[in-house]
Amino acid sequence: MSLSLYDISVPVFINAFGNLAEILKKGEAYADEKGLSHKDLLQARLIDDMYPLIAQVQRASDTARFAAVRVAGIENLPMADGEATFAELQDRIERTVAFLKGIDPSAMAGREEAEVVLTTRSGSTTFTGKSYILGFAVPNFYFHVTTAYAILRHKGVPVGKMDYIGRSK
């Protein structure tokens, strides 16, 4: 049995969102314990030209949703980037996971060679379904999840590798 585009993306995203939700809970608890401003932690960045924590979670959400939308050709669940609290980030993660769980694996079946066009401010890039998932969507998703983890770790939140990877379930 071979792995499908669905297998290597959607369940992977869902699992990582579970870990990210727990990491964010630890960040909120740490801020409360240390008397730190939630806003300051949520707006923290690794460096000035990178997105803050809130935007890292938003971009992970967007990447996961758009991976399925672009490859399967399904309708997107639009999400405005209005989150400003830990609770709102948790809600966005929950809505993203619910969207992902609603994807029928057959919608991505046989789409390995389908054309996927990614349009950004700097232009368009054409992928196959397989090259988009493996060469862009999954790496981009993990970039944002990793950066969210790194921001919290940098700010002193006691999270470690097993929080990021997740405990066996």
pLDDT in tens, 12-34: 999 999 999 999 999 999 999 99
User: For the residues 89-110, what does the mean pLDDT come to?
Assistant: 97
B/e letters for 106-140, b = 16+ CB within 10 Å, e = fewer, are ebbeebbebebeeeeeeeeeebbbbebbbebbbeb
**Is residue 108 over pLDDT 90?**
yes
pTM of the model: 0.95
pLDDT, position 1: 64
pLDDT tens digits along 26-76: 999 999 999 999 999 999 999 999 999 999 999 999 999 999 999 999 999
The Cβ-side half-sphere exposure at 50, using a 13 Å CA radius, reads: 16
User: Residue 131 and residue 148: Cα distance in Å, rounded?
Assistant: 25
Q: Which two tokens stand for residue 10?
A: 């959607």
Contact between 44 and 50 (Cβ < 8 Å): no
Rounded Cα distance, 130 and 136, in Å: 10
Distance of CA 39 to the CA centre of its chain: 20
Domain boundaries along the sequence of the chain = 10-165
Residue 168 has pLDDT above 80, yes or no: no
Q: Is the pLDDT of residue 169 over 90?
A: no
Q: Specify the pLDDT at position 2.
A: 86
Start-to-end C-alpha separation, the chain:
23
Any bridge partners for residue 128, and if so which? 115
User: What's the CATH number of domain 10-165, 3.40.367.20, 1.20.120.450, 1.10.3210.10, 3.40.50.720?
Assistant: 1.20.120.450
